[in-house]
């Protein structure tokens, strides 16, 4: 198994990429800490991991709060002895997020608090634990929109994910000699609750689908497989990357006539 003996903390574990990754990582031998602001969802994910024969606990975590992130890491080390993989995956995409004029300040601040500050706080408390374990892998969920402009305006989300890419690059350089790898997973549009709530009309869905060469939305399970590679020793020479898994959208992003 590809993560045998490793402990992984995964935020946003209650649904989408986070839940799929928890289940896959557990199947691959990892001890999983399922972290989510929704305690009931986090518990359900941990129970599903256990039911499949994996070792898992859950912890309610608001990633925008320093104490919650510190507690998340403490629980991982206390329960499983060490931390080897940190998957900063939690994120929000608010329906009120639009262009610069339409986006309100509270929408901007909430998006940044979760999507960008939350990744920083995960690293702030997670990196010392990875050092204590002798190294490990950090995966930060960014997005293809960090590389391209979004067809449907979502300025706060796009800016927050661009920040995640910049932070990932710098952390990768800083910690490369400590055996700590840091990579950004950049999903394309996914058929998850998060995006479908934002693309809440058929017109919005089609504005995304027209750009995807594969002609479909991706699945959370496909992102989990990419995260598994970045978490495993198979990616031992991979750090500082924009790991794009997008159905070809960044290769063929054009405005349709």
CB 232 within 8 A of CB 139: no
pLDDT tens-digit readout, 71-91: 999 999 999 999 999 999 999
CA dihedral 23, 88, 81, 176 (to 10 degrees): 120
Residue 23 lies in a domain: yes
Strand order in the sheet with 55-60: 55-60, 31-36, 7-11, 85-88, 136-141, 180-187, 242-245
What tokens does 196 get? 């479908």
Residue 153 lies in a domain: yes
How many domains in the chain? 1
Annotation marks residue 229 as catalytic? no
Residue 2 lies in a domain: no
Whether the predicted model's global pTM rises above the 0.75 cut: yes
CATH of the domain at 40: 3.40.50.720
Averaged pLDDT, 226-249: 97
pLDDT tens-digit readout, 3-36: 999 999 999 999 999 999 999 999 999 999 999 9
Residue 72 lies in a domain: yes
Residue 16 lies in a domain: yes
Residue 92 lies in a domain: yes
Residue 1 lies in a domain: no
Per-residue model confidence (pLDDT) at position 198: 73
Single out the catalytic residue among 125, 157, 229, 253. 157
Residue 253 lies in a domain: no
Per-residue model confidence (pLDDT) at position 257: 45
pLDDT tens-digit readout, 133-182: 999 999 999 999 999 988 788 999 999 999 999 999 999 999 999 999 99
Range of the domain at 127: 7-245
């Amino acid at each position: 198994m590809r993560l045998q003996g490793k402990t992984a903390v995964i935020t946003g574990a209650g649904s989408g990429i986070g839940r799929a990754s928890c289940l896959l990582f557990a199947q691959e031998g990892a001890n999983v800490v399922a972290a989510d602001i929704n305690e009931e969802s986090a518990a359900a994910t941990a129970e599903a991991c256990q039911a499949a024969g994996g070792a898992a606990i859950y912890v309610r975590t608001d990633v925008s709060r320093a104490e919650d992130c510190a507690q998340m890491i403490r629980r991982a080390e206390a329960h499983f002895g060490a931390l080897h993989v940190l998957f900063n995956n939690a994120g929000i995409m608010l329906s009120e997020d639009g262009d610069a004029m339409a986006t309100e300040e509270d929408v901007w601040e909430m998006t940044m608090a979760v999507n960008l500050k939350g990744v920083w706080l995960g690293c702030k408390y997670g990196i010392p634990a990875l050092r204590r374990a002798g190294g490990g892998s950090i995966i930060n969920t960014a997005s293809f929109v960090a590389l391209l402009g979004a067809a449907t305006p979502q300025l706060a989300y796009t800016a927050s994910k661009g920040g995640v890419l910049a932070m990932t690059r710098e952390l990768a350089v800083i910690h490369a000699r400590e055996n700590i790898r840091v990579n950004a997973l950049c999903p394309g549009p996914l058929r998850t609750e998060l995006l479908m709530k934002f693309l809440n009309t058929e017109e919005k869905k089609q504005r995304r689908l027209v750009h995807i060469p594969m002609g479909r939305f991706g699945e959370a399970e496909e992102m989990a497989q990419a995260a598994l590679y970045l978490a495993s020793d198979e990616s031992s020479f991979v750090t500082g990357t924009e790991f794009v898994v997008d159905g070809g959208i960044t290769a063929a992003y054009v405005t349709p006539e």
